[in-house]
Amino acid sequence: MSDTATGAGTGTATYTTDELMIVNAARELGRVAASGHPIVFTGIGLPSTAANLARRLYDPAPVLVYESGCIGSKPTRLPLSIGDGELGDTSDAVVSVPEIFSYWLQAGRVDLGFLGGAQLDRFANINSTVIGDYEHPSTRLPGAGGAPEIAASAGAVMVIMRQSKRAFVERCDFRTSIGYGDGAGHRERLGLRGGGPKWVITDLGFLEPDPVTCELVMTALHPGVTREQCTAATGWELRFAPDMRATLPPTDAELVALRALQAA
């Protein structure tokens, strides 16, 4: 499904599939934030957009951390990179990169890691390194950054990606950031302290890990999306939860806040 107008929100405004995905990710962050100011280690792009929208919409708001060492960032516009001066200027504190990883992330002080990627497989492993063979790839991607450490050490992980057969693959061409590895028990065998991916939010709906096998299962559909669309956009034999739910369309207030954020 492309980023085109898909329907009306709960008011009068139409919305795009990207807006639907971002709003639903922000809502989920808002639910997590209700437990009391969770620390969210967020990547640039879709994760940062959803995280900053959640910060504007919900109280208590998530505390945003970026791998450049910015803690409690409150950017007035979307950052262009982790090195964007807006992040440092609006932060509660700025620490060194070694400190943000060793003292905050690896020590278990980050509640939620929020990531994207180029490929995602059935066990929520992420590829952001290469498409194709590593030595002779068809596409060389930006690379890992801090994502492997976030995936390994954050208390939980949320992933946001557009769902297509090209991106949702049986097995990643390169495993940049671990989800559940080869399945149940793999994280434990590696000694990883983080809780692993709990939500994958796409332009079609939500996927969550099966509690026994850790394989991603479709648990919610966005308005107007069918099971057939999800199956066609997934590179493995996709399973659907027996208690499938439907997400709600964006409200006018959510769309106004998101569009203002993107226009700043």
Whole-angstrom distance, CA of residue 253 vs CA of residue 12: 11
Q: Tell me whether residue 254 is one of the annotated catalytic residues.
A: no
Query: Which regions of 36-176 does DSSP assign to beta strands (E)?
Result: 39-42, 63-66, 70-71, 93-94, 112-115, 119-121, 126-127, 130-132, 137-140, 156-160, 168-169
Determine the distance from the C-alpha atom of residue 64 to the mean position of all C-alpha atoms in its chain, rounded to a whole number.
Answer: 14
Whole-angstrom distance, CA of residue 188 vs CA of residue 203: 31
- Catalytic one of 19, 28, 67, 149: 67
Residue 6 near residue 16, CB atoms below 8 Å: yes
Beta-carbon count within 10 A of 101 CB: 19
Whole-angstrom distance, CA of residue 76 vs CA of residue 89: 10
- 42 CB-near residues (< 8 Å, 6+ apart): 48, 51, 64, 65, 66, 113, 114
* Residue positions annotated with a catalytic role: 67
